[in-house]
Structure formats: C-alpha cells, structure tokens
Amino acid sequence: MNPSIKKTEPVFSISTAARLLKISVHTLRMYEREGLIIPYKKKSNQRLYSQADLDRIQCIRDAINQAKISINGIKSIYSLIPCWDIIKCSAEEQKECASFNGAHNPCWTYDHKNVCKERDCRTCEVYTKYSQCGTIKELIKSVSR
C-alpha cells in the first residue's frame, strides 16, 4: 500500500507473508528448502519477504493448484532457465557448471564457483526474471516447441 516501498524491499515477516498468501509458515519454509524461493534473511536469521517474493510464491501456488505441476516439476522448469546466457559466463565456466550441463534443479541451488560466486542469487536476473507467472509460461512454451 505504501508506494515509497519498492516491490523488492523485504518487509513482510514469515507470519505476515503466510497470512497474505493463505498458506502456512511451514509451507513457506518448505518452498525455501526445495529451492523454489530465496527470501531475505536478517542477521538474526529471520526471513523477510518482499511483494516480489509474494508474487513469485503466488505463481508457484498457481502452478501447483491450477496447472497441477509438482514441486519437482517446478524445480525442473526453473532449471531450464538459460542462466549461462543471461549472465554470460565463459566457456570454461560453462564446462564446470552443473546448470549448463543438464541439471534438474534451479541454478541458484548449486554451489557456485564461477562468476555466480560474487553474485547474490536473490537479486540475480536469473532468479528474478522468471518470477512472474506469465514469463514462466513463456519459458515453458519456448521449451516445449
């Protein structure tokens, strides 16, 4: 409601996020364990969610409830994002990268040894670019053709 707060600003506690999304805090933490989301962490280790996080999670909920896609299915979809092309890592780095070589999990769930090491996956375009339901569908279409 406050226009001065950016959609990417982590402001919602896990209980507030759960209430707004109508899901349990347990489910919220589970999505994180599965590597579907990367909430902001305070130094106290407590999670904070931005409006962008909420939007992303709602897309995940829609994929599960409407499209009937499983958690593993969503992870597989995310793994298809061409991260190497988006962040343009070198051929050497691609050779060493699991994400470039048929990984079935999102790139941000792996240990990074290349240029990704200096990046914060939460704010990386690879993670944020396909956070909207529409863009995820476009990705699915482009892959299924």
Q: Position 126: which residue type?
A: V
* Under rule CB under 7 A, residue 58 binds DNA: no
Structure tokens at 44: 């106290």
* Under rule CB under 7 A, residue 72 binds DNA: no
Count of beta carbons in the 10 Å neighbourhood of residue 19: 13
Which residue from 6, 7, 15, 129 is in contact with DNA, where contact means CB under 7 A? 15
23-52 positions binding DNA, by CB under 7 A:
23-27, 29-30, 44-47
- The span of 19-27, 50-58, 89-97, 130-138 binding DNA (CB under 7 A) equals 19-27
- The stretches of 22-132 forming alpha helices (DSSP H) are 25-33, 51-65, 71-79, 83-86, 91-96, 125-128
Note the residues at the interface with DNA (CB under 7 A). Answer: 13-16, 23-27, 29-30, 44-47
